[in-house]
Amino acid sequence: MIELDEQNFEPVMALSMRHPIVVEMYSPRANAAELSQTLTQLANAAGGRYLLARANVDAAPGIAQAFGIQAVPTVIGVIGGQLAPLFQGTKPKEEVVPVIEALLQAATANGIVGRADPVAGGPGENPDLPDPRFAAADEALESGDFAAAVAEFDKILAHTPNDAEAVAGRAQASLLVRLHGVDPPSVLAAATADPDDLDAHLAAADLEIASGRIELAFKRLIDLIRRSNGANRDTVRVRLLELFETVGKTDPAVLNARRDLMSALF
């Protein structure tokens, strides 16, 4: 999380070319501290999937004007320099989570899958302090060379196999590799035509994840696990676990799917 002001506005917004940004426009007068706390908790739990930027409209009226803010609190997503209005007013955590997850899925579909680095967050500080371990992977992602990004994440994981950020980054980059050149209607038609076509259903699940139909993708693969055995079953299980990393371990859909997976396996 970083405090956004008129001095660091441009460099922070430039980070949206690397990873999504969630901007909270707030005012101490708005009596929305609970929403601010929720957004901060979610950002900290997201492990770098996005950056939370908080702007006090009383202290930075120029930012409010740039975003066309009419009331606070207002929460806006930024992906690749493009604004995506999320919601206005206060919302409980259970309503905020799916809104942010939809933003992250849109970012993945557009190839914006870099990781946000922890920042000090003080006004005027430069947040663009990339973790050198991920520099090559981030550069590959930004250039659209997703296969190279996978290779760079593999290098990191060779040294630190349990690095959660690298595991998630690799999963996202791998999804983009698999989606390249895919014809969605053909893939979905093949999956519909043959309930046991392993490759078609794996590809269909990738498309559903990229388009934000997370629960449908998970159900498809869990049903396939129930119908499969041996090596095919393990292939689907591994892919499902990888998609869990892509979506995020704390996503409610992932938590529900994990329970369904256990039931399907045992």
**Do residues 138 and 259 both lie within one domain?**
yes
Across 64-91, average pLDDT: 91
pTM over 0.85? The answer is no
Say which CATH number the domain at 85 has: 3.40.30.10
Q: Is residue 103 part of a domain?
A: yes
136 residue type, one letter: A
- Rounded to the nearest integer, the mean pLDDT of the chain is 87
Rounded Cα distance between 206 and 218, Å, is 10
Q: Is 152 helix (H, G, I), strand (E, B) or coil?
A: helix
Residue 163: pLDDT band by 50, 70, 90 thresholds? confident
Q: Among residues 75, 109, 143, which one ends one of the domains?
A: 109
Rounded Cα distance between 116 and 18, Å, is 8
Q: Is residue 247 part of a domain?
A: yes
Rounded Cα distance between 263 and 233, Å, is 14
**Do residues 145 and 230 both lie within one domain?**
yes
**Do residues 99 and 160 both lie within one domain?**
no
Residue 121: pLDDT band by 50, 70, 90 thresholds? very low
Backbone angles phi, psi at 2, to 5 degrees: -135, 145
